[in-house]
Structure 1
Amino acid sequence: MYLEHFQLQQKPFSLTPDRDMFYLGDAQQKALNTLAIALQQGEGFIKISGEVGTGKTTLCRKLIAMLGESYHVAHINNSFVNPCEFKLLLAHELGVALNHDVPSYRILLHIQKQLVHLARQNKKVVLIIDEAQAMPRDTLEALRLISNLETGKRKLIQIILLGQPELDELLARQDMRQLNQRIAYQAELKAMDKVDAMSYLATRVKIAGGHEDLFTEKAKSLLFRFSLGNPRILNILADKALMCAFAKGAKQVSKAEVEAAAADSKAAIGTKERSLPNWALAACLAAAIIIPGGLGLWM
């Protein structure tokens, strides 16, 4: 919508996790270092936890892009499945095609056979499970048993769990102690402080080809205040603020556009604090129809 208006090559604040837009702040650097060390060691589970919107999936995609040809990555996004469905998903990720009516024990045999095959090709297998806090207890137990697969020298598969803080609560349960004890490395992604948030905004705008003054200083400070440093919320607010500025024909996002974006997104930002009524952003965007040529800009 607004790319040409702001002379951008791509959207700087898309909600879709984009490894090319990856911002390497302190927390992200620590998490990547943890992952790199853990994968070199080749043993134990790895846990990366963080609140919704703190960038776990983006971090995961960045990691996948960094891994060389010596790795085979299996990535499971839907973790809310039963043990048999989980094994079928893993088999598929490993390149094994199986029918849904195959008995569970035979699926495990096929998985083990494929893991041995990959090991003979000097491939290190990494299984990444997103939204791991949603995994049922029986599926987690199946995962633990799969982690036991090994040769005489090393594990056949290494497992990375990505999850919200509820994952920590789940693993802290008494009946989860066997799995919890196997987590050798862990890191936490937290909301950004103001310095990181300002750098995050500047980095994304620069990667998208925009000017460093796309947002005023007051607008950037307000974006941090409303988002509390959460990257996803920051993206939502910044994108809406850009749309509002575009609708007004402005070349720079000011405090007023951020306030309008926050008013429209109060559910997302989790606060009732707002300076404009709920209709503020809608009215702002509707102005595009009134601006001469505005309707054409939307096309």
Structure 2
Amino acid sequence: MYLYHFGLRELPFTLTPNTNFFLGLEPHNEALAVLLTALKTGEGFIKVIGEVGTGKTLLCRKLLNEIPDHFVTAYIPDPYLKPDELRRAVALELGVKQAQRMSVQLLTQRIQQKVIELHKEGRSVVLILDEAQALPEESLEALRLFTNLETETRKLLQVVLFAQPELDERLSQTNFRQLRQRITFAYKLRAMTSIEVQRYIEHRLKIAGYKGATLFNTNLCKKIAKATQGIPRLVNILCHKMLMLTYGQGHYQINTKHLKAAIDDTEDTALPSINLRWISTSLLLMVGVVSAYIFWRYQA
């Protein structure tokens, strides 16, 4: 691999959501601030929506690392679960013993007892679901019922949903209006700008141990931003392939040819094409207008 070639300690552009590579760009800092504020104020449902590859899972891991100590977290990374399976997964995360053997009714009671016990100890329970758009319809309703546990001042169980935009489409349906109205805080992750893409690439190289001359210049970063539409996952894929191509050729400088080759080998990436016919037509029109103006001035 190209680690020794470029003087790297580790691969800088892997797809694994490693919080060591987290860069506090504006959208992710804002989302994290919204999440922590909402949790501290005791809100029932909090939602973070983002397109595929915008860094939701990395943000989720960052939240788990930075959430205050008095919170007890139940993390469900794969929520494609039926209601009973979801309850058992939550129970296991909260440390409910023999959760797999209980009836649904008894399991629900034990979860409620556990949440109340933790509240008496001054702890707050947070259920965090990644890829929440995959929740079956019945499980979404079960999730809503979880949050019925409350005191006069706050919810005893809070829920954070990380999801793709498809979740919003589902929640817009009439039968989900009760759940929709309980979501008091929401944030939508945006893609990176070209400036942020350059910062992102430089940051990941630095964390990976790179100390040499600039590998991805400003012009190249702008093209990467256009080709990926600022999606972090796609940026990682292109940069990884470009480093591999450069290493394979025995070079140390990355160029546009490497980018084009990486784009050709990667789904959902492309540089904007130039419509030459439109340009030719525009130039002809411009020449015609200028010629007519000159002729008019000459006749006058």
Give the TM-score of the pair, scaled to structure 2: 0.86
TM-aligned CA deviation for residue 99 of structure 1: 4.8
Kept after mapping to 2: 8 A contact 1:88/1:98: no
* CA RMSD between the two structures: 1.7
| Whole-angstrom distance in 2 between the partners of 1:111 and 1:250 | 59
TM-aligned CA deviation for residue 133 of structure 1: 0.9
Partner of 2:143: 143
Match of 2:261, as an amino acid?
A
Partner of 2:220: 219
| Whole-angstrom distance in 1 between the partners of 2:169 and 2:51 | 13
Partner of 1:41: 41
| Whole-angstrom distance in 2 between the partners of 1:157 and 1:28 | 24
| Whole-angstrom distance in 2 between the partners of 1:272 and 1:43 | 43
TM-aligned CA deviation for residue 268 of structure 1: 3.8
| Whole-angstrom distance in 2 between the partners of 1:237 and 1:161 | 29
> 3-state DSSP class of the match of 2:38?
helix
| Whole-angstrom distance in 2 between the partners of 1:72 and 1:99 | 18
1:69-110 CA distances to partner (integer Å, 9 max, x unpaired)? 211111101111110000001011111233534221111111
| Whole-angstrom distance in 2 between the partners of 1:146 and 1:217 | 49
Kept after mapping to 2: 8 A contact 1:52/1:164: yes
Match of 1:226, as an amino acid?
A
Partner of 1:87: 87
Moved more, 118-127 or 41-50: 118-127
| Equivalent residue pairs, number | 272
- Is 2:72 the partner of 1:107? no
**Correspondence list, 1:135-174, <5 A:** 135-174=135-174
Match of 2:112, as an amino acid?
Q
| Whole-angstrom distance in 1 between the partners of 2:51 and 2:243 | 26
Gapped regions of structure 1 (runs ≥ 5): 275-299
Moved more, 214-223 or 178-187: 214-223
Partner of 2:239: 238
Partner of 2:130: 130
1:52-77 CA distances to partner (integer Å, 9 max, x unpaired)? 00001101111111113211111101
> 3-state DSSP class of the match of 1:30?
helix
Give the TM-score of the pair, scaled to structure 1: 0.86
- Is 2:236 the partner of 1:264? no
- Is 2:209 the partner of 1:209? yes
Match of 1:223, as an amino acid?
I
Q: Identity of aligned pairs, percent?
A: 41
Runs of 4+ residues deviating >4 angstroms: 271-274
| Whole-angstrom distance in 1 between the partners of 2:44 and 2:232 | 29
Match of 2:53, as an amino acid?
G
TM-aligned CA deviation for residue 177 of structure 1: 0.4
TM-aligned CA deviation for residue 222 of structure 1: 2.2
> 3-state DSSP class of the match of 2:43?
coil
| Whole-angstrom distance in 1 between the partners of 2:58 and 2:35 | 14
Q: Which of the two has higher C-alpha Rg? A: 2
